[in-house]
Amino acid sequence: MATLLLTNISQLNTVDAAHTVIADAAVLIEDGLISWVGAAADAPAADEIHDLGGRAVLPGWVDSHSHLIFAGDRAEEFAARMAGQSYAAGGIAVTTEATRSQTDTQLADLVSARRREALSMGTTWMETKTGYGLNLSEETRHAALAKPLVENLTFLGAHLVPAGQDADEYTALVAGPMMDAVAANVDFVDVFCERGAFNEELTRTVLTSAVAHGIATKVHGNQLGPGPGVKLAVEFGSASVDHVNYLDEDDVQALAGTWTGWDAATRTGSAGTVATCLPACDLSTRQPLAPGRELLDAGVQIALASNCNPGTSYTSNMNFCVATAVLQMHLSLDEAIEAATYGGALALGVADKVGSVEVGKRADLHVLDAPVAAHLAYRPGMNLTHSVYQGGALVSEG
Ligand SMILES: N=CN[C@@H](CCC(=O)O)C(=O)O
Ligand SMILES: [Zn+2]
């Protein structure tokens, strides 16, 4: 099997359990997987060598929350928000109408282009959600066409009750025929549990059906105000609860309680419910930033994700999310990088495969145009992605 050595890495942030950082490092890749990591001076021979020119390397970003299956944009809604209007879930209907009008090819092209755009900024593993179809045929179509285009797919039929429909009847459709139709194509079921979207009872109906279908769950919770989202995610053992802007002490303690069987020092034991913070969304909706610092201090594993969507967060730039988490959420650089890599992998149940630079993991590497990773926050807004390796292949070069 041909081997590839990446060498002349000024700083390698492995994001392993010990948070090992290696100066003057090299990484050996074999058959798409990492087969050796260490000091460049000790590197084994290889069939091919890439000299990374004294640049810093990180694991590729694992973006565990996005909504890429959409058409059109909502720039006017955004402008109105910046003029003082508050975000409301109803905008989802505008995107749903635009999305339904696309042919399969048009919609698949939009999703692929967005996935490639994220890849070019270092995102080597990406989840996306349905949720702009909102009827049986469209949700089924969106799930089928997006499945091969992203690394994980989530069913979010419970995004908004379409105008004029009864909430109980629509929820029964989501939890029944829609879930049956998409089950083979999705990894997770998600619910937008919020005032104006799905209340506690309706959320419970959808999550209960997901459990019966054997599909792991996620919850959009506590985004626009306090609510039952976190509580339900904990009760259902969800892989993550996302947004988490408005938490009370009980919410934080409930999340922390899910991590008591996890040993963070060795990354062994049973993982709990990841709290996924979405800083780009918080800025774009002028919501208070999620309390990532407090969650970490309470022992909760967090993830950082882009939440790329046309309503609340029209960016898939994880470099920006990491910079914001450091500068405004008071995470250390190491904490932010871990949340955007290993944390995302935990939120998607793929931490055995991706999320760190360790032997046996997929060779997903993000090469920065910087000598140290600190530049991600030190030089916010700069285009710091030099190149990207996914499964050992050079997939994007700056
Ligand atoms: N909060 C719910 N769903 C998306 C927004 C969807 C939209 O407004 O189009 C979110 O995660 O922010
Ligand atoms: Zn979302």
pLDDT digits (tens, 9 = 90+) for 46-73: 999 999 999 999 999 999 999 999 999 9
Ligand nearest to the CA of 193: 1
Residues 278, 126: Cα–Cα separation, whole Å: 14
CB crowding 38-67: b at 16 or more within 10 Å, else e = eebeebeebeeebebeebbbbbbbbbbbbb
CA distances from 44 to 30, 39, 201, 243 (A): 12, 10, 58, 44
Q: Is 309 annotated as a binding residue?
A: yes
Sheet holding 3-13, edge to edge: 33-39, 21-30, 3-13, 48-59, 365-368, 385-390, 393-397
> CB-based burial of residue 330 (10 Å sphere; 0-12 exposed, 13-18 middle, 19+ buried)?
middle
Interval between CA 311 and ligand 1 midpoint (Å): 6
Angle between helical axes of 318-327 and 333-340 (0-180°, round to 10): 140
| Cα–Cα distance for residue pair 224/2, rounded to 1 Å | 51
Mutate which of 129, 154, 159 to test ligand 1's pocket (most atoms within 8 Å of Cβ)? 159
Name the H helices within 183-236: 200-213, 229-235
Q: What is the Cα–Cα distance from 249 to 295, expressed in whole angstroms?
A: 10
Structure-block tokens of residue 238? 């969800």
Residue nearest to atom 6 of ligand 1 (CA): 311
pLDDT of the residue at 223: 98
Cα(366) to centroid(ligand 1), Å: 28
Q: Which atom of ligand 1 is nearest to the CA of 132?
A: 9
* Residue 205 marked ligand-binding: no
Mean pLDDT of the chain: 98
Ligand 1: which of 67, 129, 276 to mutate, judged by most atoms within 8 Å of the beta carbon?
67
Mean pLDDT of 356-367: 98
With cut-offs at 50, 70 and 90, classify the pLDDT of residue 1.
confident
Predicted model pTM: 0.98
Cβ distance 252 to 298 under 8 Å? yes
Q: Report the nearest atom of ligand 1 relative to the CA of 285.
A: 12
Name the residue with the closest Cα to ligand 1, atom 10. 312
Cα 60 to averaged position of ligand 1 atoms, centre (Å): 25
Helices 91-100, 136-146: inter-axial angle, 10-degree rounding: 70
The model's pLDDT over 80-132, given as tens digits with 9 standing for 90+, comes to: 999 999 998 889 999 999 999 999 999 999 999 999 999 999 999 999 999 99
What is the predicted ipTM? 0.97
Q: What is the pLDDT of residue 90?
A: 86
Nearest residue to 107 (alpha-carbon basis) of 78, 77, 127, 132: 132
Atom of ligand 1 nearest to the CA of 223: 1
Q: Is position 65 annotated in a ligand binding site?
A: yes
Alpha carbon distance 270, 66 (integer Å): 26
pLDDT, tens only, 23-36: 999 999 999 999 99
Show the tokens assigned to 355: 């999320």
* Closest ligand (CA of 90): 1
Paired tokens of 280: 């780009």
Could you give the domains of the chain?
Answer: 3-60+356-397 (2.30.40.10), 61-347 (3.20.20.140)
Strands (E), the chain: 3-13, 21-30, 33-39, 48-59, 61-63, 123-129, 152-158, 188-193, 216-221, 240-243, 262-263, 268-269, 274-277, 302-304, 365-368, 385-390, 393-397
End-to-end CA distance of the chain: 28
Q: Is the dihedral of CA 147, 153, 158, 162 positive or negative?
A: negative
Query: Minimum-distance ligand to the CA of 96?
Result: 1
Instruction: Indicate which atom in ligand 1 lies nearest the CA of residue 243.
Output: 11
Say which ligand is closest to the CA of 285: 1
Specify the ligand 1 atom closest to the Cα of 156.
3
Ligand 1 contacts (CB < 6 A) are 67, 91-92, 95, 192, 220, 223, 281, 307, 309-312
**Is residue 398 predicted with pLDDT exceeding 90?**
no
Tokens at 68, concatenated: 């890429």
Measured in Å, residue 122 CA sits from the centre of ligand 1 at: 23
Over 90: is that where the pLDDT of 44 sits? yes
Give, as one character, the DSSP assignment of residue 132: S
So what's the pLDDT on residue 277?
99
Q: What is the token pair recorded at 122?
A: 């270092």
Sequence-distant (≥ 6) Cβ neighbours of residue 53 within 8 angstroms: 8
